[in-house]
Structure 1
Amino acid sequence: MSQGRESNGFAGHPRGLATLFLTEMWERFTFYGMRSLLVLFMTAAVIDGGLGLDDKAATSIYGLYIGCVYLFSWPGGWIADRLLGAQRAVIAGALLMAAGNFMLALQSVTFFYLGLIVIVLGVGLLKPNVSVMVGQLYSGQSSARRDAGFLLFYIGINLGAVLAPLVIGTIGEKLSWRAGFAVAGLCMLGGLLQFVAQRRHLPPALPTATTPAERRRGLQILFGAGAALTALIALMFAGIIPAAPVTLARYTGLAMVLMAAGFFGYVFLFGRLSGDEAKRVAVILILFCSVAIFILGYELAGSTFNLFARDYTDRSFLGSWFADGEHPASWYQALGPFYIVVFAPLFGAMWVRLARRNLEPSLPAKFGIGLIQVGLGFVVMAWASWLVVQGGAGTRVAPTWLLLTYMLHTFGELCVSPIGLSAITALSPKRYTGQMMGTWFAGVALGNLLSGIVAGYFGEDTLATAPTRFLMICAMDVVAGCVLLLLARSITRMIGDAR
């Protein structure tokens, strides 16, 4: 068998899956650890070691950061495709992620923002290329088998995400914000060492720019883009370009939409696609829009839900363990990934069994079901926020509201995220695999950015309108899900026999 595809791994899956499983587990531990602290740190008072920002500014910065993390997966895929290869891109990304977290741990506002930028670049290099290598392990195998492999991979992602808020969140909230960021950086270095030691089990994934001229053109593009980005950052830090978080988030969102339109337009017009390839790229465009809508609601977990846990949720459970009598608000960030670890194997087995009976829902049907599930979660949040409004100042509700919301959102994610990752690897023209995986993360980026903007309207001063706003998000997700269900057959015909 070819390198990286030995079938002596877990449950008959390729041995390389374990390597990528552990790499992504530690990457997500690092990412979700600092993510669980980010909004809480930015809104904490300066005297308590935070930045002292208001909710709207903090959530806009959060949305910008998370959005750019996924947006930079797009050029990260291109860099791997053209210049570095997937394995070298993962190594470079891990080093940048570790360095960025160490910068957050420094007592400097400037280094805090620079650290966020460095982490953005690191995740952009690492995340899409790990996913691409998972897909390459299953080349020539059935879609059900590949979906099962991606679900196992997804468990690795969420094991890291479960542990991170419990460990890093506790250190950050109860000991020191800076110590939490530093621990996240150290864990990323551990994940990198594991990847380097086990990379022999992976496909080579060499870059496509093999001639000196191709490499030279690629490097020119890379250095030109890097110089432009550096100049833009320098102008913002110098105050020459206004950098108000809310305004910057809105313009960045517009730029993301224009970039996506430009990329898809270029591929359709000049990508020399066959008829079948054009239909499948059109499906990828539909997935791009669908995942953006899904993530807009789903990623309120790290901002609005995190603040709701801090300000309006009874956290007395295990409170005797802590001096202030409350467990950390960041612990609730572990709920979503915990549910995924519990339910992902059940969903994977369900898809395989349904496929054997020719009853498995189609790709667009799964997306539609996922959007409806996340919409139902906002009905729960609307009810919980209504109870807070009716109770008046100081009212706190039981944790069960967040427990149920995260469960519904998790069921939605299990119908969208791992299925979408698997679908992109199957639908992409081979010469655009890394870049098409980048478009998936660009859709996630747009959803995250919009989520951060929307989260700014759920601050303490607008609590009275929170139930209505939650129901508006519910309506958007449910309508989008129903549209996908209605168009499922047409979209499935566009997919054809892609596996």
Structure 2
Amino acid sequence: MSSMNKQKIVDSVPQKGFFGHPKGLFTLFFTEFWERFSYYGMRAILVFYMYYEVSKGGLGLEEGTALAIMSIYGSLVYMSGVIGGWLADRIFGTSKAVFYGGIFIMFGHIALSFPGSLSLFFVSMVLIVVGTGLLKPNVSTVVGEMYSENDTRRDAAFSIFYMGINLGAFIAPLIVGSLMESKGFHWGFAAAAIGMFLGLVVFMLTKKKNLGLAGTYVPNPLNAREKKKYGLIVGAVVVALAIILGTTIPAGLFTLDVFINIVGIFGIVVPTIYFIVMYYSPKTTATERSRVLAYIPLFISAVMFWSIQEQGSTILAAYADKRTQLDFMGISISPAWFQSLNPLFIILLAPVFAWMWVKLGDRQPSIPKKFSFGLLFAGLSFLVILLPAQMGGEGSLVNPLWLVLSYFIVVLGELCLSPVGLSATTKLAPEAFSAQTMSLWFLASAGAQALNAQLVRFYSPENETIYFGSIGGMAIALGVILFLISPMIQRAMKGVK
């Protein structure tokens, strides 16, 4: 997409109307609010649904298997963003990708809302994975399209947008977790489906007036020869997968462990391929190549950060369920409610961070330094978990305030890294790969959760000290290294701040 078309998009969007930002931020704020309500409401109870006994309404899976599936599911959700970004860049644009994705997600949650078999559970997971891959990276790309490259409101806009995400994520576990306790799992999943439906309604009713041309351009459309080429490739892949799965599954060769290992490999290989393709593409300029190189250490740091943060829905969820005092100060706490802590702290602190970056202006830390702070806080959040076991002894139930403190610390890191990473991605992306680079940003979460699928196997209450201590220590060490090399990374960004 040319610079002229970018400016044409900016000019088509009403630039004042939502906290001093374009009106389109309202549309995207509430679309993502309801989509995140849907996703995080479902995720808050999903791991419990998998490992709770059938007599309690669950699927009765072994706990370690449930934790691994949860991580792999999270990895595939973000990995599918590669396909969603490619489809938006090459075929139908980001706006249609958001709408189609919402439809898939809604039907996935509807499938979960009906009591059924393990097969129906996996069908619903496929629908949600495909839908989130279409919606999640592309709605963030539309946010970036509403601002010119030099608009100083951009970082603040992503912080506000990020607050909308977390407002939905905060409310959802409280509602869905309460429904899980009082009505059962499937009522909770039904609430998630309703949330996605409301998100689609907001998007369709307001996009024409508020978004202008944002999301309508296809920056790198397929020509006739490419359509034929990719059609043949897709057909060949589908046939090959059908043959492979049709022969290996009956023979017992394609097991869950094999699938976990394959996803783990993809978590490394796919982003590596993307970096290589973008760097060597003839459509990438010399300046853009330098920015791609600068993006690599940021991407690696994001993988480390999300590896810790995403364990809030796996290891820390199980920790809340089995290692934490759930009757506290006369209140019976649902373990799903702890999933609201992360978004609650972001809601409270996101405006503070947005104000701080605007107030500091040119004096604020560079993007790499913000990333290093994010890693330091993430590492500390895991080290904090070590303290209650050391003081109370192994096997004792811990005060829930320790979990509250851990979630609070990791949020400080998240606000240094995540909204800043979204903004940096839109600025560092090569022009021909705008939506796909946003997909690459979400591949950091995919790689992190593919890594977690392996790590969760090593966790047990008996080795908590080694588990939390080693992972937290590695994050702190990487944060120090990133801080030291941040001037070198900043120079490679070629003017992007």
| TM-score (normalizing by structure 1) | 0.92
| 1:430 counterpart = 2:439 | no
Match of 2:418 in 1: 417
* Cα distance in structure 1, aligned partners of 2:328 and 2:480: 39
% identical aligned pairs: 34
> How big is each residue's C-alpha offset from its partner over 1:183-232, in whole Å with a ceiling of 9 and x where there is no partner?
21121011111101111122143223265444444555555555556666
The code of the aligned residue for 2:487 comes to R
| 1:348 counterpart = 2:348 | no
The code of the aligned residue for 1:383 comes to L
Choose the corresponding residue for 1:94, options 80, 97, 102. 102
Does the C-alpha gap of structure 1 residues 451 and 369 become closer, same or farther in structure 2, counting only changes over 3 Å?
same
User: Do 1:209 and 1:215's aligned partners in 2 also have CA atoms closer than 8 Å?
Assistant: no
Provide runs of 4+ in structure 1 moved above 4 Å: 1-4, 210-236
* Cα distance in structure 2, aligned partners of 1:263 and 1:73: 12
Mean alpha-carbon deviation: is it higher for 122-131 or for 255-264? 255-264
Match of 2:201 in 1: 193
> How big is each residue's C-alpha offset from its partner over 1:246-268, in whole Å with a ceiling of 9 and x where there is no partner?
44222211122122222222222
| 1:269 counterpart = 2:271 | no
Deviation of 1:269 (Å):
2.7
The code of the aligned residue for 1:115 comes to S
* Cα distance in structure 1, aligned partners of 2:240 and 2:184: 36
Alignment of 1:322-333 (within 5 A): 326-333=332-339
User: Do 1:375 and 1:476's aligned partners in 2 also have CA atoms closer than 8 Å?
Assistant: yes
Match of 1:154 in 2: 162
| 1:114 counterpart = 2:126 | no
Match of 2:368 in 1: 364
Match of 1:135 in 2: 144
Matched residue pairs, number?
484
Deviation of 1:77 (Å):
0.2
Alignment of 1:245-284 (within 5 A): 245-284=256-295
* Cα distance in structure 1, aligned partners of 2:44 and 2:204: 28
Q: In structure 1, the residue corresponding to 2:198 is in which secondary structure?
A: helix
Unpaired segments of 5 or more residues in structure 2?
1-7
| 1:385 counterpart = 2:383 | no
Does the C-alpha gap of structure 1 residues 241 and 260 become closer, same or farther in structure 2, counting only changes over 3 Å?
farther
| TM-score (normalizing by structure 2) | 0.92
> How big is each residue's C-alpha offset from its partner over 1:252-302, in whole Å with a ceiling of 9 and x where there is no partner?
111221222222222223444322111101122222211111111111100
User: Do 1:99 and 1:185's aligned partners in 2 also have CA atoms closer than 8 Å?
Assistant: yes
User: Do 1:5 and 1:138's aligned partners in 2 also have CA atoms closer than 8 Å?
Assistant: no
User: Do 1:101 and 1:182's aligned partners in 2 also have CA atoms closer than 8 Å?
Assistant: yes
> How big is each residue's C-alpha offset from its partner over 1:93-136, in whole Å with a ceiling of 9 and x where there is no partner?
00000111111223121010111111000000000000000000
Unpaired segments of 5 or more residues in structure 1?
321-325
Deviation of 1:314 (Å):
1.3
* Cα distance in structure 2, aligned partners of 1:128 and 1:229: 26
Deviation of 1:467 (Å):
1.6
Mean alpha-carbon deviation: is it higher for 427-436 or for 213-222? 213-222
The code of the aligned residue for 2:262 comes to Y
* Cα distance in structure 2, aligned partners of 1:185 and 1:3: 35
Q: In structure 2, the residue corresponding to 1:10 is in which secondary structure?
A: coil
Q: In structure 1, the residue corresponding to 2:496 is in which secondary structure?
A: coil
Deviation of 1:55 (Å):
2.1
Does the C-alpha gap of structure 1 residues 146 and 276 become closer, same or farther in structure 2, counting only changes over 3 Å?
same
Mean alpha-carbon deviation: is it higher for 202-211 or for 462-471? 202-211
The code of the aligned residue for 1:353 comes to K
* Cα distance in structure 2, aligned partners of 1:481 and 1:315: 34
Match of 1:295 in 2: 306
The code of the aligned residue for 1:427 comes to L
The code of the aligned residue for 1:287 comes to L
The code of the aligned residue for 1:335 comes to L
- Aligned CA RMSD, in angstroms, stands at 2.0
The code of the aligned residue for 2:14 comes to E
